[in-house]
Amino acid sequence: MSYQPPSGQYPPQPPYPQQPPPPPAYGQWPPQQQYGWGPQTSLPPKKKGGAGKALLIILGIAVLGTAGIAALSGALKHHDPSYTGIPYPTTTYSPTAEPTEAPSAQPPSVKPTRPVVTAKPPVVKPPVKPPAPRPTAPRVKPKPEPSDLDIVARNKLYKAGTMGSVNCKESKARPSTVAGARANYANLARCLNRAWPALVVKAGAKFRPPTVLSFSGTVESPCGSMSDTGPPFYCPTNQTIYMNLSEDIGDYNQDPSVYNRVWARMWMLHQFAHEYGHHVQTLTGIFQASWNLRYEAPNQAAELQGSRRLELQASCFSDIFISANKRSYPLTGESMRQWKWLIGDTIDRRHDHGSTANHKYWALKGYNSRSPAACNTFTASGAKVS
């Protein structure tokens, strides 16, 4: 086995000669390769005595280190006649106890070991507290609808307050003709359409003005057919006031005397405001509730009493308006005398509209109070609505 010095570590050598040695002939190894440092596969033949010397040289290198390199060089020169003085590499050789292979620039690869994964204890989440039940509001029973008796007897209109003046003035046209009569109806409608809305709205109802129609002869309506031989009327089905032209024009023209014509004008005023009172009853629910009570009445006497309560209240509503505007209309002198006479002496329809005495009683209550609160005929005793 040939000696292979460690890579990169060689013994010291003298300087290279000025001229390199001549190249060897073809087929010969260069002189430096005769010592086993070349790529050949076989060693040259050993010389006599060379083995022992070589062993001593090796031991000297190992013991003496760098200092023995010079002695080894001299021994080789002295005992080896074939030494040619060929220069060696300039790298110095020093023995080492480290591995003979040069350390790699890269750190030794260490096979990573798979980390030991220890099972983590399961995370125990605290139990989720169920949400507290929301307090439910106590179930409120729907308020029952007011009965028909509640509507007529405890209507909010009775708490609406007093009516103020709308400065209503009498029309300058006289009801001697159809045009004159219709001018008076239109004028009164405008006044009443301004006088009642505030009270109706305070009663919790929506105000709508009525329609006004005048007729002569026979007129057809949703409430039936009517003849001009009868009084004016109001139909709640289409919320229309029907004024009798034949009656109003005839009353005014039948006697040219002043008192008669003043009476005819007061009658027209009162009758128009009375039928408008039925419209107020319709808007506030009183008219329909009264009709239901009359329909359910146990006998005709009770039914007729219900009719009188409704009609006497309408007259009371009429005189609320007349009183609220008595200064502007005006109601003085002959007008006042004729108004008092007609409410106390000329109206007597005992079976369905009430006696003259009771009609005067409710008319004066409306006139003196100017408030619907005074017109609650549905809680009055039977004697006051006979």
Digit-coded pLDDT (tens) for 1-36:
544 444 444 444 444 444 444 444 434 434 444 333
CA separation for the pair 345, 357 (Å, rounded): 8
pLDDT of residue 353: 84
First to last CA, the chain: 157
How much is the pTM?
Answer: 0.65
The structure tokens listed for 20 are: 């390199």
pLDDT of residue 5: 43
Span 35-43, average pLDDT: 39
Q: Are 286 and 240 in contact (CB under 8 A)?
A: no
Model confidence pLDDT, tens digit, residues 178-230: 999 999 999 999 999 999 999 999 999 999 999 999 999 999 999 999 999 98
**Could you tell me the CA-to-CA distances from 79 to 47, 56, 62 in Å, in that order?**
11, 12, 20
**Which of the residue ranges 82-91, 138-147, 280-289, 331-340 has the most confident prediction, judged by mean pLDDT?**
280-289
pLDDT of residue 265: 96
Q: Are 59 and 95 in contact (CB under 8 A)?
A: no
Q: Are 306 and 290 in contact (CB under 8 A)?
A: yes
pLDDT of residue 286: 98
CA separation for the pair 313, 319 (Å, rounded): 10
Q: Which residue has the higher pLDDT, 311 or 11?
A: 311
Model confidence pLDDT, tens digit, residues 78-125: 444 443 444 444 444 444 444 445 445 555 555 555 655 566 667 667
Determine what percent of the chain is predicted with pLDDT higher than 90: 58
80, 86, 90, 91: CA torsion to nearest 10: -50
